[in-house]
Amino acid sequence: MTRIRTGAGALALLLAIVLGAAELISAQTITPPIPIANSGARNTTLGIPRWKAYQSPSNPNNLWLGYASSATSASSMTYSTDGGSSWSTSTIQIEANGYMDFHLSLFGYGGELYFTFPGVGFRKFDAPAQSESDRGPLVEFPGTSGAHRSNVMVDGNGRIWVFTREGDVPSENVRYQYSDNDGATWTSGLAYATGTNNVRIGSMPFLSDGRACLVVLHLESSKGYEYYLWNGSSFEARPDHSIYGVNMGYERAFTHNVVNDTVMHLVFGDNDQLHHLWKNYNNGTGSWSYEVIDTSPNTDGMEWYPHSTVHGDDLYVFYAKKSTSATTSSMIYYKKWSQSSQSWTSPQLVSAGLNGETNVCANTTFHVPDNATFIPVFWTTGTDPYTVYFSRILIGGSGEVDTTAPGWIDDLDATTGSAQGQIDLNWTAPGDDDQTGWADHYDIRYDTDLLTEQTWSGAMQVQAEPSPAAAGSNQSMTISGLIPGTMYYVGMKVYDEAGNDPGLSVVDSAEARTDFGSGTGEILPVDFTLYQNYPNPFNPSTVIAYYLPRACHVSLTVYNIMGQQVRQLVDGIQSSGEHSVVWDGVDDDGFRVSSGVYFSSLEADRTESRCKMVLLK
């Protein structure tokens, strides 16, 4: 076995107002806003604090947005498969009647989308979630009505949670429903008896196990903001559960999120200030840190409409802000918090070119995957019909260009497979950027000669390579259809979505598994022998192997069940020994044949042998 490296590659608050000089200057690029949807519903993308977007962890260029609609023919979901450059134009309705309230909440897990909305209704869209045919059945929770509001989340174990509350009914504030079977059946209970007439609720996975965390704002109450954590059987108040014990009146626009699993952040508008509180969990002990991160004498309370997402160590907060008091127009900005430096960037304008418009209700996805090259943001602009705009914050400040290659694959292991003509591969997945995140795709090739950068293009490419897993994950696959007893060199390249690769990382070699001949130490046959093709049945190709005890003229032909010639594979003199040829299911005229029974026929030195083959499609 040879490996060859061929390239390089509470209210105890710590007040910390850090406006002005303490802020960092952003070096990130913001793409121009593009319109992606229209709606007759006001506050189309309103949060408080519901996420309405989802970005695929395996391919961050796949994006979805759920939004309010106000007509039976209106769409309430759109998606993009190219990083937001273009968006679907077909009508996709989350509710069958088309109407969708702006209290809509979306969470994604794997390739599936989960929606909840007043009623309370719950609906799942199965992957690829690109049409109404992917829409699952409506689930309506008993005891809920059109007055109930809800949000949805998925915890670290894949459990789906829906939290509900009802205004002016303290006994309904707050309840939960959860499902461990993808929404087929549900368990319900009281999450927390607030005793408060009006609350607003948010939820998210928290800590390394992704357990459900409930965030509650008690309106017109000195309890202010609190959080409650699932302990396996109930939601409990940890010693630090009081985040901001101040009567907020009826100011109810806020956002929360978590960085590195353990640092919770809360951002909300109150009067003319945008407030930020944060704290590392620390087993539920300690005090919350506090700061004011922006001010505006023309923006008041609810008008800030903050929303947040997280990428790695960074928290992104989007919000609306008015420049003058003489107009209702507002613009969308963002600020980025660095967990490592404990500091914010200065405000950056997102809604450039939309001056004079009322830009409100920014929304985004809960978390941006580590392997993403941009942060998505959506917001509502104008008057009826309202327009949904989309823009991207390009990560790293290098425009559209991602110049960091995935990490090396330095442990590729190729071994003789468990079945005839197979080689098994095992390796550790690298990251998108070196050893973090998910890479985009693999290129796996093999040849009977040593693989180098110079010979790579001429090597045979493996079909249906697996998608890269998270960095550090063990992966494997089997290459089939090889010539038994033959030594192959196998190599891998890995690419990110920008096309970066670290080069040909590792080449390994192994002998394809053989059930005949010297590859297994068996005695070679003494007569002309035609072996059963493999695989069989097959689609689209199969390997036909045979043995010649001496040099002679050989004819290897494929016939159909009527005895008619389909394909002449070999016709000429060959040396003694083992031989094989691949039939690709194509006839002598170059047309692909239909499913059915065929025969391989070997004629050599006045002998003839036949084997039945089955082509399935």
- CATH class of the structural domain 524-615: mainly beta
**Rounded CA gap, 227 and 204, in Å?**
11
Q: What is the pLDDT of residue 9?
A: 31
Residues of the chain falling short of pLDDT 70: 1-28, 326-327, 396-403, 437, 497-498, 505-506, 509-511, 513-526
Cα–Cα nearest to 513, from 504, 521, 505: 521
In CATH, the number for domain 13-394 is 2.120.10.10
By the 8 A CB rule, do 186 and 209 touch? no
Domain ranges, ordered by start, for the chain: 13-394, 403-511, 524-615
Q: Which helix (H) or strand (E) holds 601?
A: strand 596-604
What's the pLDDT at 137? 95
pTM of the predicted model, to two decimals?
Answer: 0.64
Two tokens, residue 515: 């059930």
From the number of C-beta atoms within 10 Å of its C-beta (0-12, 13-18, 19+), residue 111 rates as middle
- Contact at 8 Å (CB) between 56 and 83? no
Among left, alpha and beta (phi > 0; psi -120 to 50; other), residue 569 is alpha
Residue pointed to by tokens 């960091």: 404
| Residue in this structure with the two tokens 């505006």, named with its chain if needed | 296
pLDDT of residue 294: 94
* Neighbouring-strand partners of residue 387: 38, 381
Q: Which fold has domain 403-511?
A: Immunoglobulin-like (2.60.40)
pLDDT tens per residue across span 123-177: 999 999 999 999 999 999 999 998 999 999 999 999 999 999 999 999 999 999 9
> Residue 575 corresponds to which tokens in the numbers above?
């040396």
Q: Which tokens hold the place of 250?
A: 């009826």
Residue bearing tokens 């690109």: 130
One-letter-per-residue 3-state SS of 446-502: EECCCCCCCCHHHCEECCCCCCCCECCCEEEEEECCCCCCCEEEEEEEEECCCCCCC
So what's the pLDDT on residue 498? 66
Nearest to 216 by CA among 201, 235, 229, 206: 201
Q: In this structure, what DSSP letter does residue 219 have?
A: T
pLDDT at 521: 41
The predicted pLDDT at position 396 comes to 56
Cα(75)–Cα(89) distance, integer angstroms:
9
Give the helix/strand (H/E) hosting 252.
none
CA dist., res. 178 & res. 314, Å (int):
30
Tell me whether domains 13-394 and 403-511 share a fold: no
Q: Name the token pair of 386.
A: 């309202």
Reference 528, options 452, 608, 468; nearest CA is 608
3-state secondary structure of 303: helix
Please enumerate in sequence order all residues whose Cβ is within 8 A of that of 290, keeping only pairs 6 or more positions apart, or say none: 13, 14, 15, 16, 244, 275, 276, 277
